[in-house]
């Protein structure tokens, strides 16, 4: 299961890279429209911060310090920087997951999630769903506003 989870994270982060790279107009990454409150660029920054925090810090034991508000407040980060940061977080995620043992998936995740104790496996599935969900939003944002 650990190998499968690692492969799926790598695949989805490749998808994130492709989605961001597919924006034709770089400023479209940051566009908002009626009823669209998060830009593709901000969703990308959010995913990068989220994965560095919940997988890098708490599974891979990195010293990452999250600034969640900045994930949504920062604007106009160059596309090349986002792409580099996606590859960096992908390396961190894969490295962190690779060091896990299969039996670690059944252990408690080191911090509570919404006030409850969950297993590492549960948290990894939750984070994977979160990643995939926002990649879908980025895809829709790009197709709608990158014109």
Q: How many CA atoms lie within 13 A of 101 on its CB side?
A: 3
The residues near 71 (Cβ < 8 Å, ≥ 6 apart) are: 42, 45, 46, 48, 49, 50
pLDDT tens readout for residues 34-64: 889 999 999 999 999 999 999 999 999 999 9
- Whether 147 has a pLDDT exceeding 80, the answer reads no
Tell which CATH architecture fits domain 2-145: Up-down Bundle (1.20)
- Total-model pTM: 0.95
Average per-residue pLDDT for the chain: 96
Cβ neighbours around 10 below 10 Å, total: 15
| Local confidence band at 70 (pLDDT 50, 70, 90 cut-offs) | very high
Q: What sections of the chain are H helices per DSSP?
A: 2-21, 40-51, 68-73, 79-98, 120-145
Closest CA to 51 of 73, 68, 74: 68
pLDDT tens readout for residues 85-130: 999 999 999 999 999 999 999 999 999 988 999 999 999 999 999 9
- Structural domain boundaries in the chain: 2-145
pLDDT tens readout for residues 20-30: 999 999 999 99
Cβ density class 47-66: b for 16+ within 10 Å, e for less: bbbbbbbbbbbbbbeeebee
């Amino acid at each position: 299961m650990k190998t499968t989870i690692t492969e799926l994270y790598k695949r989805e982060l490749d998808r994130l890279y492709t989605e961001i790279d597919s924006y034709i107009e770089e400023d479209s990454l940051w566009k908002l429209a009626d009823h669209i409150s998060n830009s593709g660029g901000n969703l990308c920054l959010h995913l990068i911060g989220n994965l560095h925090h919940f997988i890098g810090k708490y599974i891979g034991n990195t010293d990452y310090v999250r600034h969640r508000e900045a994930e949504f407040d920062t604007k106009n980060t160059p596309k090349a920087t986002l792409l580099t940061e996606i590859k960096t977080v992908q390396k961190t995620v894969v490295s962190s997951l690779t060091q896990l043992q299969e039996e670690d998936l059944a252990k408690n995740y080191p911090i509570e999630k919404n006030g409850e104790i969950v297993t590492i496996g549960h948290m990894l599935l939750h984070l994977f769903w979160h990643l995939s969900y926002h990649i879908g939003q980025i895809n829709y944002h790009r197709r709608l506003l990158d014109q």
